[in-house]
Amino acid sequence: MWEIVLAFAVFGFLAFYLGIGTWIFVALLMVALTSLTLLLDFPLARVGSIMKGTMWRTASTWELAAIPMFIFMGEIMFRTDVSDRLFRGLSPWTNLIPGKLLHCNVVGCTLFAAVSGSSTATTATVGKITMAELQRRGYDSRIATGSLAGAGSLGLMIPPSISMIIYGVLAEQSITGLFAAGILPGLLISGLYSGYIVFRAWSSPITGESEDVRYSVMDFAKSLLDLAPILALMVIILGGIYSGVTTPSEAAALGFAASIVLVALLGQFSWAVFVDALTGATRITCMVVTILVAASFMSSSMAYLHVPQEVAKLLAAMDLGPLGIVILIGVFYILLGMFLDGLSIMVMTLPITLPIVVAAGWDPIWFGIFLIIMIELGLITPPIGFNLFVLQGITGKSIGEIARGAVPFFFLMLLAAIIITVFPRIVLWLPDVIL
């Protein structure tokens, strides 16, 4: 009973520090310090030793080397005309499908996610050209913004995903296995989105293009040239990882070098682009790693408090069963996603939820994908839905209007979570084949 009181005290500390506006990494550090000193009466010297050892061990993890490289690569691509080339390259192919250019949002985000690893970068890069073009051609604005909000979140699911790297480090799971596990669920979500667009196109006019646009064989050939930079990076990064030639960190470095070469060949490389990309990548990397090492310290403090074990015992006493536990945790994450960003949700809750889920019989690789879908749902859920804010900056529309357009895609992503829960082999089959 005392451990349950301690668990509620920890959550109270966290709510207090976040409520007074403390930076997330500071809040995590303060929760750990307060818990160990006040609740367990640890001397400051011992707390300092725990903090130093835990944070250094996490910060020096080799797998984290992939994060700045993937972020740097995404920043480089963001500052070029990749989005224009994506749109030109996909237009002839999507014209063959009901819904036409709306599929550029879905397919474009799916492809760019494979070289970005970031949801925000994916949404912004694809949206900066597709939204203006779709608006100019008279496409339904609600489904246009909604499809981009939903598809942009695939930056977390389609490998190489920064969120998967962080989960792999925190959960001590194979990052290559997580990358493999995300492919089929990512394609499933992408297929559900495109299927919905096709259904809407059949049921009511949403394209705004009355004329029958025709593309020649030469147009299709040129489209492949426009798609070549993205496809080349996908082959280099994912091919290197899954062939066993490179580790994820080595593939990140190789992909970054390849992106520099490709941008130079396209005639768009300059010192200004390099410096801007370096500045953006440094800022984002520092934010991510700072939160991560602070979360590792909080995780250690929770282990000393036995919080995960006691919460697991409490849930076991409720006799919910494996499915009931996953549903409860899923609802918990959806609620958190309304108020916190995905990285914060992952690092703050994983020390508690992962042991519970594993004890219930779920595979930790599967739970990583399930967790990422839950975080993706938060990206399109107001009031703190980051993709909604990105789209607001691109389109100038209100958050409420964008959120209403994203509602169908929220439920489609939720459907994907249900499908992988009922059929977990969708997630686990490819890692079993590759590893």
State the alpha helices, DSSP H only, in 266-397.
271-305, 307-318, 321-337, 342-359, 364-379, 386-395
Of residues 198 and 1, more confidently modeled: 198
- For 177, the enclosing helix (H) or strand (E) is helix 175-203
User: Residue 63 carries which DSSP code?
Assistant: G
DSSP-derived 3-state class of residue 341: coil
Q: What percent of the chain has pLDDT over 70?
A: 93
Task: Identify the pLDDT of residue 285.
Answer: 83
Distance of CA 132 to the CA centre of its chain: 25
224-243: average pLDDT: 87
10-30: average pLDDT: 78
Q: Would you place residue 127 in the very low, low, confident or very high pLDDT band (cuts 50, 70, 90)?
A: confident
Q: Count Cα atoms within 13 angstroms, Cβ side, for 338.
A: 5
Rounded-to-5 percentages of helix, strand, coil across the chain: 80, 0, 20
What is the rounded distance in angstroms from the CA atom of residue 229 to the CA atom of residue 258?
10
Q: Tell me: the pLDDT tens digits for 193-225?
A: 999 999 988 887 766 655 567 788 888 888 988
What is the rounded distance in angstroms from the CA atom of residue 160 to the CA atom of residue 124?
18
Closest listed residue to residue 365, CA positions, set 238, 181, 161:
181
pTM of the model: 0.85
The segment with the largest mean pLDDT, out of 69-73, 83-87, 102-106, 390-394, is 102-106
Q: Tell me: the pLDDT tens digits for 241-286?
A: 888 888 888 888 898 899 899 888 888 888 888 899 889 888 888 8
Q: Tell me: the pLDDT tens digits for 347-377?
A: 778 888 888 899 888 999 999 999 999 988 8
32-54: average pLDDT: 83
Task: Identify the pLDDT of residue 204.
Answer: 76
pLDDT at 99 over 80: yes
Structural domain span for residue 331: 2-434
CB 379 within 8 A of CB 337: yes
Q: Would you place residue 7 in the very low, low, confident or very high pLDDT band (cuts 50, 70, 90)?
A: low
Rg (CA), the chain: 22
One-letter amino acid of 278: L
Q: Would you place residue 183 in the very low, low, confident or very high pLDDT band (cuts 50, 70, 90)?
A: very high
Six-digit token string for 345: 């949700």
CB 257 within 8 A of CB 274: no
**Angle, alpha carbons 221-195-378 (nearest 5°):** 110
* Candidate from 135-139, 142-146, 325-329 with smallest mean pLDDT: 135-139
Six-digit token string for 17: 């520090």
CB 363 within 8 A of CB 171: no
Q: Please, what is the average pLDDT of the chain?
A: 84
Task: Identify the pLDDT of residue 209.
Answer: 57
Q: Tell me: the pLDDT tens digits for 298-339?
A: 777 777 877 666 666 676 677 778 899 899 889 888 887 776
Q: Indicate the number of domains in the chain.
A: 1
Of residues 169 and 189, more confidently modeled: 189
CB 350 within 8 A of CB 393: no
Q: Enumerate residues 6+ apart whose C-beta is below 8 A from 245.
A: 239
Task: Identify the pLDDT of residue 309.
Answer: 66
Task: Identify the pLDDT of residue 430.
Answer: 92
pLDDT at 384 over 70: no
Q: What percent of the chain has pLDDT over 90?
A: 16
